[in-house]
Chains A and B, each alone.
Chain A
């Protein structure tokens, strides 16, 4: 474990990305303890930032800082949930395709290719418009339905190459078969690829979520960063020069995506270094 941590520390990009994401998560978790959420909807509307309202208020008199602190964990929740679901389903399918090969592989691979070719936003819009009331959990479920293909591809490719390794052959010759072989020989070696796929899945899920919310298909009764942006856009915050209303969600969303990019690029480098080291 400490070796892993040291390796992460050496990879500056990965460390920087993790720091950005963790501090955002902390802000979302600890913020409610510091900032009184009762401020929401209880003050005068359209106030520019001052000492009482550090980020001003919106047209409905909501304190923007309080709204931001409320929205942050919800957005991260959608991303993490959808990413986990996508990784779970996608990773399992990839493992099955790579391990079983043959017909199962053809079916899974073709399905992934076809679903990948359909623009996610199109299907998401269709589903989201037909759902009666949208919630954060529902959102994660819908987005996850289109986030499993990339993990499937990545895990399948790695399983295919892993199962040809000599230690897998040794294990098989020793009479270890089926599920036990997958659990003891394949899964531990796939762990880093699962981690990398997870970051990609979260990033894709988050992108789809924010896009849907910007179109007005997000959870109407819950506050997420995308919904904050939607309302700001809906009430013309940019055109009215109310920068304190739209800059915080824009900055938070940008920071999340740049953090995810840094983590994924750093992880890639780490994996490549491992591959070079092993080979």
Chain B
């Protein structure tokens, strides 16, 4: 048990360390000097005063780019540890960490709720698909759900947007609340936010139900072949009881591992859904930063994504032995 936790923790540290290092090295490994490039662009616009070389050197000294690489790296590590990710170039002087803080609740809320819903529905659907007594209706839902799981989330988002916000304008086109509205802590705000979240959440839910269903179906098929299912049936338990208490319950545990494995897939998918619906989360901010070539915001969001996924995976790994006693005793 202790060995398991230590190993998982070490893996998480390794991933976080690697993510930070990649974030530091990649932009520096690329050809071209960012300072000179920026200054050349400015001077081409007619704003050159004095010696370009001296200006470039001054900027490099100011940004710490004249230091040896290892010292730059140490400074970078220290700043990341203090959550100092620099300032936005496009929205100067807004801090990158503030920008992220403003977007994070929207992403976590959207992603969390959508994942919970699709996990619930998909797991149940997968179980029913494996259950021989299920009717034709289950298969009728199952096939399109599995087909949709192959399609990228945002592709589905575009279709939903066109159908339910343009052709039949039932739901809003963009944003997390009306543009002219100032959110307050009241029920009206909650209702508005929920109403704006329906289409983005639906894109994620519809596109990921199939993933859960496929995994769960395989699991339940395996469990249903076990002897204790036969025993439960022989005891005369009703099919409903056998399905839920004996079949689903025992197949549910590996689904949590599945959640940990697909987390980064789900997050990348959700980022693009935000772009389609102009939802003010991390993904939309990343898109805007890319459009504005706002390097520090891009780097900050990328770092946040890597680190948060590593930490969440670790937490899910910790959860697993708690809910599955077999792992606890084995290790």
Binding site for B on A (CB under 8 A): 110, 113-114, 117-123, 125-127, 129-132, 203, 207, 210-211, 214-217, 229, 233, 238-239, 241, 243, 246, 250, 253-254, 257-258, 260-261
How far apart are the CA atoms of A118 and B311 in the complex, in Å?
A: 11
Whether the pair A114, B151 counts as a contact (CB closer than 8 A) is: no
Most buried by B among A113, A126, A207, A229: A126
Is residue B154 contacting chain A, with contact meaning CB distance below 8 A?
A: yes
Count A-B pairs with CB separation below 8 Å. Answer: 118
A-contact 0/1 string along B272-304, CB 8 Å cutoff: 100110000000001100110101001100110
Binding site for A on B (CB under 8 A): 11, 14-15, 18-19, 22-23, 26-27, 30-32, 146-147, 149-152, 154-155, 158-159, 161-162, 166, 173, 264, 267-269, 271-272, 275-276, 286-287, 290-291, 293, 295, 298-299, 302-303, 305-306, 309-310, 313
Which residues of chain A come closer than 8 Å to B275, judged between CB atoms?
A: 214-215, 233
Known: A119-B305, A210-B152, A214-B154. A126 touches B30 (CB 8 A): no
Which residues of chain B come closer than 8 Å to A131, judged between CB atoms?
A: 30
A226 → chain B, closest Cβ, in Å?
Answer: 10
How far apart are the CA atoms of A216 and B299 in the complex, in Å?
A: 16
19 contacts between A and B (CB under 8 A): A117-B313, A118-B18, A119-B306, A120-B264, A122-B19, A125-B302, A126-B22, A126-B23, A126-B26, A127-B26, A129-B290, A211-B268, A214-B272, A233-B275, A233-B276, A250-B155, A250-B159, A253-B151, A258-B151
Known: A118-B18, A126-B22, A254-B151. A132 touches B32 (CB 8 A): yes
Nearest neighbor of B266 in chain A, beta-carbon distance: A119
Cβ-closest 3 pairs across A and B? A261-B150, A119-B264, A121-B268
B289 → chain A, closest Cβ, in Å?
Answer: 9
How far apart are the CA atoms of A198 and B6 in the complex, in Å?
A: 34
Whether the pair A246, B158 counts as a contact (CB closer than 8 A) is: yes
Contacts A122-B303, A132-B31, A261-B147 aside, 7 further interface pairs with beta carbons under 8 A come to: A114-B14, A114-B15, A114-B18, A119-B264, A119-B306, A123-B306, A126-B26
Which residues of chain A come closer than 8 Å to B152, judged between CB atoms?
A: 207, 210-211, 253, 257
How far apart are the CA atoms of A121 and B31 in the complex, in Å?
A: 22
How far apart are the CA atoms of A26 and B150 in the complex, in Å?
A: 22
Which residues of chain B come closer than 8 Å to A118, judged between CB atoms?
A: 15, 18-19, 22, 264, 306, 309-310
Whether the pair B298, A113 counts as a contact (CB closer than 8 A) is: no
